[in-house]
Amino acid sequence: MTTPTAPLSAKRKARTRTTNVSTRPALLLSELPLTAVDRVPRFDRLACPECGTWCPLTTHKGTKQLKLVPHHTTKAGTPGARRCGNSNRLFTIDIPLVVWQARRAEAIADVAARRPTTVLKKVKTPVVPALHQLTPAAPTAETARSTYEAHRRRCAACTDPAKQCTDGLRLESNLRVALYREPERRAAQARTEQEQRVAERGQAKQRLRRRSAEWKNVEKVVGAADAARREPLLDAIAPIRGAGVPTDWRDSKEQARALARTRTAAAIREASPLRLKKN
């Protein structure tokens, strides 16, 4: 005796030849969410309002009206299959597709505007190392000699060169190493200074070439401005010239009397260009 097996969910068909139609009222495009319908030419899909499964839309024979294909509530291959109640339910487009597409575009733009921006992590401030964490510079012959001599003056055990303390021996060893490496250090320092001088000369030449190129670009404009500045102004008013003032401090009596006559009220009225002519 064979044991009956539970039916499995079948794969949803893109087209169906059945003429069955659900007794439920037709689904309206205007009543469905904008994201529940995917209107792609020849690949129309609809999210079932009951089970949420995306199902193709097929054409019902005879009326050429769209309807949902028969589908199960679970994925294909799941045991215990159950047919959804919206299978073969009609779908009606009650608004123009242009209006629906415009509404969907506005909704997508609105959702994109509400979407939060990417959170950028704040850059951590670098921690400055303490003095004891800094790597000391390599000692030179001068610094090693001064350190060794200062220790010899302060240390009572290092007064005799044959008897030195541990620090004195260490400083003496550092002095010998620094004296051995001094020629190499000076050669490296000379090479570094030479490279720095070469780089500075190259930068100076680049600035000179850049300045020359900039001057070539504005040379014509500056020359035209200088030529216009040198041209005399049209209808220019000559500077006002006053009466000659005697510069000799030895003023004679005749010059004093003539100057007094020119300063009288009658002389001023006579010389005024605004005086009235007598009839």
Q: State the DSSP code for 263.
A: T
Strand 90-92 relative to strand 65-68, pairing = antiparallel
Given a contact cutoff of 8 angstroms between Cβ atoms, the answer to whether 8 and 74 are in contact is no
Q: State the DSSP code for 96.
A: -
Per-residue pLDDT tens listing for the chain (279 residues): 444 455 555 666 666 667 788 888 888 888 888 888 877 766 678 888 888 888 888 887 767 788 888 887 777 667 767 788 878 888 888 888 888 888 888 877 766 666 666 777 888 888 888 877 877 777 788 888 888 888 888 887 777 767 778 888 888 888 888 888 888 888 988 999 999 999 999 999 999 999 888 888 888 888 888 787 776 554 555 554 555 555 555 556 666 677 666 666 566 666 655 554 544
Helical segments of 81-165, H only: 97-114, 141-154
* Residues 242, 245: Cα–Cα separation, whole Å: 8
Strand 27-28 relative to strand 37-38, pairing = unpaired
Phi, psi of 163 (to 5 degrees): -125, 105
SS3 content of the chain, % helix, strand, coil (to 5): 45, 10, 45
Domain coordinates in residue numbering, the chain: 27-114, 139-206
Amino acid at 231: E
* Residues 124, 63: Cα–Cα separation, whole Å: 68
Given a contact cutoff of 8 angstroms between Cβ atoms, the answer to whether 34 and 90 are in contact is no
Phi, psi of 78 (to 5 degrees): -85, 130
Q: Distances in Å between the alpha carbon of 276 and those of 53, 241, 262?
A: 112, 25, 20
37-38: strand order across its sheet: 27-28, 90-92, 65-68, 54-60, 45-47, 37-38
* Residues 252, 248: Cα–Cα separation, whole Å: 10
Given a contact cutoff of 8 angstroms between Cβ atoms, the answer to whether 58 and 39 are in contact is no
Query: What pLDDT sits at residue 64?
Result: 76
Q: E strands of 110-178, at which residues?
A: none
**pTM of the predicted model, to two decimals?**
0.36
Cβ-based neighbour number of residue 49 at 10 Å = 14
| Token digits of residue 83 | 């047919």
DSSP three-state, residue 249:
coil
Size of the chain, expressed as the number of residues it contains:
279
* Residues 154, 161: Cα–Cα separation, whole Å: 14
Which helix (H) or strand (E) segment holds residue 216: the answer is helix 166-230
* Residues 89, 23: Cα–Cα separation, whole Å: 8
Given a contact cutoff of 8 angstroms between Cβ atoms, the answer to whether 7 and 73 are in contact is no
Which helix (H) or strand (E) segment holds residue 56: the answer is strand 54-60
